[in-house]
């Protein structure tokens, strides 16, 4: 009886081993990450209260379906100044080479009263500047 259990357990372990080693390559992987210019910025309210949350939307143009939004580099330059650079991912796989616009957002929740200045990278040495007054 004990031998039968050992043989049955060994068969189950071997079965799991062979089924878990399946290399399924039906997905795309990120090959690189690069800056992408922010074409436009939408701020719904240019004034807001302290400790509230506002979504700031950014729009960028991607050159293929293998590119998409990866993340932001959000830097606090001072108490009230922020510089934002967007990054795109580039994946492998079959890609349709056509431009498409992607929207992303930053949730801004100010912790102090003042006039905040946001600078969004627009390529080269160009920046889109937006201000929000916090009361």
Tell me, yes or no, whether 54 lies in a domain: yes
Tell me, yes or no, whether 48 lies in a domain: yes
The pLDDT value given to residue 123: 96
Tell me, yes or no, whether 18 lies in a domain: no
Query: What's this model's pTM, rounded to 2 decimal places?
Result: 0.78
Q: Domain range for residue 88?
A: 28-134
The pLDDT value given to residue 96: 84
Q: What is the pLDDT along the chain (135 residues), one digit of tens a residue?
A: 555 444 555 555 545 455 545 555 566 788 899 999 999 999 999 999 999 999 999 999 999 999 999 999 999 998 899 999 999 999 987 888 899 999 999 999 999 999 999 999 999 999 999 999 999
Tokens standing for residue 99: 């431009």
Tell me, yes or no, whether 117 lies in a domain: yes
CATH of the domain at 38: 2.60.40
Mean pLDDT, the chain, whole residue set:
87
Tell me, yes or no, whether 9 lies in a domain: no
Number of domains, the chain:
1
> How far from 98 is each of 61, 62, 66, 68, 95, CA to CA, in Å?
10, 8, 10, 13, 9
Determine the distance from the C-alpha atom of residue 53 to the mean position of all C-alpha atoms in its chain, rounded to a whole number. Answer: 19
Tell me, yes or no, whether 19 lies in a domain: no
* DSSP letters for 36-87: E---EEEES-SEE-TT--EEEEEEEEESSTTEEEEEEEEEE-SSSEEEEEEE
> For the segment 35-58, what is each residue's pLDDT rounded down to a tens digit?
999 999 999 999 999 999 999 999
């Amino acid at each position: 009886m004990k031998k039968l259990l050992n043989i049955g357990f060994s068969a189950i372990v071997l079965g799991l081993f062979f089924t878990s080693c399946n290399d399924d390559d039906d997905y795309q992987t990120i090959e690189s990450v690069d800056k992408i210019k922010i074409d436009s910025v939408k701020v719904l309210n240019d004034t807001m209260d302290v400790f509230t949350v506002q979504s700031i939307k950014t729009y960028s143009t991607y050159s293929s379906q293998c590119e998409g939004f990866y993340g932001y580099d959000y830097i606090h330059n001072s108490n009230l100044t922020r510089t934002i650079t967007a990054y795109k991912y580039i994946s492998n796989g079959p890609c349709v080479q056509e431009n498409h616009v992607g929207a992303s957002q930053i949730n801004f929740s100010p912790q102090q009263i003042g006039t905040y200045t946001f600078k969004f990278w627009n390529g080269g040495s160009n920046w889109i500047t937006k201000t929000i007054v916090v009361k």
